[in-house]
Structure 1
Amino acid sequence: MNKKTLVIGASLNPSRYSNFVIQKLVSQNIETVAIGLKEGEVAGVPIHADIYPFEGVHTVTLYLNAKNQKEYYDYIVSLKPKRVIFNPGTENPELYRILKENHIPFESACSLVLLSTNQY
């Protein structure tokens, strides 16, 4: 099953975890889309600087702190993902509540660890 993944908080900086995760997703043949502050490309994946109407997103993986997630609340819910992953440093009880209300599963985990241990 393809777990099309949206990386929110994607970075062009090769030393950032969001950049690593895009590379790891692509290397495991997982369809990947991304939104970040700056447009560009990582491992062949275009990074969009604005909210983009992606379809068929299975997983949203967050690389933004709680304060910077606010503008994405309605967008994430509108995607109706099968899960949202809160990577270390992105924990957000307010968004947890919104996801619960909309019956969207979520977990606090490290996407890189999940990918490296075949638990993704």
Structure 2
Amino acid sequence: MEDKDLLQIVATACDDKRAEDIIALDMNEVSLVADYFLICHGSNERQVQAIARGIKDAVEEEGISIKRLEGMEQARWVLVDLGGIVCHIFHKEERSYYNLERLWGDAAQVTLHVGQEK
């Protein structure tokens, strides 16, 4: 499966759990860490955990295993590493503090198809 297709599956999983402000950054030109970053936030710890579990369930359904999952206990910033895609699921307050969108401002934003009637 192409990373771009997986990125859409992950974005849809986030949207299904009512993640807010879902964005994806194309990291190919700016970092060796991953091909894409997906960034979103939840309004409380329980929602952040639900979003992370939703991603885990969606990718495992596709036969893809998570390489690393960190931050579930505190649920202030959960990182889901899928290899070419790294998902950052923030608590709303942490997202504005760390502001990854600005930190990686040179990365192009990727169009995602979420929050639309299908």
TM-score (norm 1): 0.37
Name the structure, 1 or 2, with higher relative contact order (CA <8 Å, separation 6+): 2
- Length-normalised TM-score, structure 2: 0.37
